[in-house]
Amino acid sequence: MFQDTKINSKKIIHICSYYKTSKLYESLFSKLYNQKNIHLIFVPLYKNKINAQEQSNSNVFYLLIYQKIHKFLYFLKIFIGYKEIKKNIACTPNMIIHAHTLFADGGIAYKIHKETGTKYIVAVRNTDINVFWRFFPFYRKFATRVLMNAEKIVFISPAYKKQILLKKELKGKNISNKCVVIPNGIDDFYFNENNSFVNKENKLRLIFVGKFNQNKNIEAIINVFNLLKTKAKVDELWLIGRKNKDTYTRKIEKMANLNSSITIFDEINDKNIISDLYKKSTIFIMPSYFETFGLTYIEAMAHGLPVIYTKGQGIDGYFKEGDIGYSVNPDNIEGIVDAIDNILLNYNTISQKCFENARAFNWENISHIYNKLYNEV
């Protein structure tokens, strides 16, 4: 069992099932470690999900406790997670638990709270709303109890806060007063003052950076580009992402091959290379169907690129419409074309606002917001 002898520090117990699969957590925790509170991260995982070389460090504890059958036995999975974390640390009322998802982590926090009185914060993310809440209605009553008993409910975007408050199970529950919106951040690298627009070829380029899958709606991007191209509004389209050997990727490659002005790049992990491609582009476009946040929108903005994003998803609600780009219906090709036309009519002003607004999304600032939240609890 973990024991700590430091005095005058709050102990924040993080339950973070997706710590290994999302780099954003590592970025957040690296900033939180520098502050006075003690942060311990518990990562409940399915067995054989980490390499033998990977070891829990002084702050991160991998709990290899789940088996495949637990994917279909939600309440048993929650019970196992709860028992394992209790075995590793004595949870007390003067600690705070931060559950980083509603269903996978929040259920564990709720059970610990009911037994020990430990207060908890719970985050609501894309999978919670668009998978669990949507397709597993028999878990909604339990999830509602998790939200009702939380001290604070954290949303990554205003759009998701609005969506959850409109759920029929939460009508009349009066939880809005404990809802807060805290964005994700981007790597400090992208705030380099040299990330200015350097498109010396004087070409109007649309750029997409993300996974190649149906949710990202890449075929709509290609259709939008083809329509703009016929009107001589844009010159090139760059599509950057992991090219999986699946039917959808082959469909995208086939569509792209019909237009020599469309270039597909494989996934790029070198920040210098991706930054260079941003600098040479004009507008970032990603009309996803579902988006928790969309870090690539902010990365593009940090380079002065106006963005096309989805109404009611991701970063929608953070900015006044037209300030940094436009929200769109992902199925409305003509509407997306009109949004790009509007950006081009006022490009320099929007580009400057993108630079300015992106600065708020750095992990240092965000870590201080979380620290303030912990202190309030």
* Domains of the chain in sequence order: 11-185+362-376 (3.40.50.2000), 188-358 (3.40.50.2000)
- Of 167-181, 215-229, 343-357, give the lowest mean pLDDT range: 167-181
pLDDT for 222: 96
Q: How many whole angstroms separate alpha carbon 14 and alpha carbon 96?
A: 8
Residue 324 has pLDDT above 60, yes or no: yes
Residue 54 has pLDDT above 70, yes or no: no
Residue 220 has pLDDT above 90, yes or no: yes
Residue 196 has pLDDT above 90, yes or no: no
> Which of 79, 280, 297, 274 shows the shortest CA–CA distance to 184?
297
- Ramachandran angles phi, psi of 92, nearest 5°: -130, 165
pLDDT for 231: 86
Residue 357 has pLDDT above 90, yes or no: yes
Confidence bin at 53 (pLDDT 50/70/90): very low
> What is the arithmetic mean of pLDDT over 82-97?
90
Confidence bin at 1 (pLDDT 50/70/90): very low
Q: What six digits make up the tokens of 364?
A: 């240092």
Residue 122 has pLDDT above 90, yes or no: yes
Residue 12 has pLDDT above 60, yes or no: yes
pLDDT for 331: 96
Pairing of strands 325-328, 307-310: parallel
> What is the arithmetic mean of pLDDT over 8-13?
83
pLDDT for 78: 96
Pairing of strands 11-15, 38-46: parallel
pLDDT for 20: 87
Distances (CA, A) of 363 to 27, 108, 182: 7, 27, 11
pLDDT for 108: 97
Q: What angle do CA 189, 353, 200 make, to 5 degrees?
A: 65
pLDDT for 2: 42
> What is the arithmetic mean of pLDDT over 32-50?
85
- pTM of the full structure: 0.84
Mean pLDDT (the chain) is 89
Binning the chain into helix, strand and coil, the percentages to the nearest 5 are 45, 20, 40
Around 321, how many Cα atoms within 13 Å sit in the side-chain half-sphere? 7
What size, in residues, is the chain? 377
Confidence bin at 135 (pLDDT 50/70/90): very high
Residue 81 has pLDDT above 60, yes or no: yes
- Of 4-8, 113-117, 203-207, 279-283, give the lowest mean pLDDT range: 4-8
Burial of 210 (0-12, 13-18, 19+ CB in 10 A): buried
pLDDT for 51: 55
User: Quick count: other Cβ atoms within 10 Å of Cβ 21?
Assistant: 9
Largest CA distance in the chain: 68
> Between 58 and 165, whose confidence is greater?
165
Instruction: Measure CA 374 to chain center.
Output: 21
> What is the arithmetic mean of pLDDT over 271-288?
94
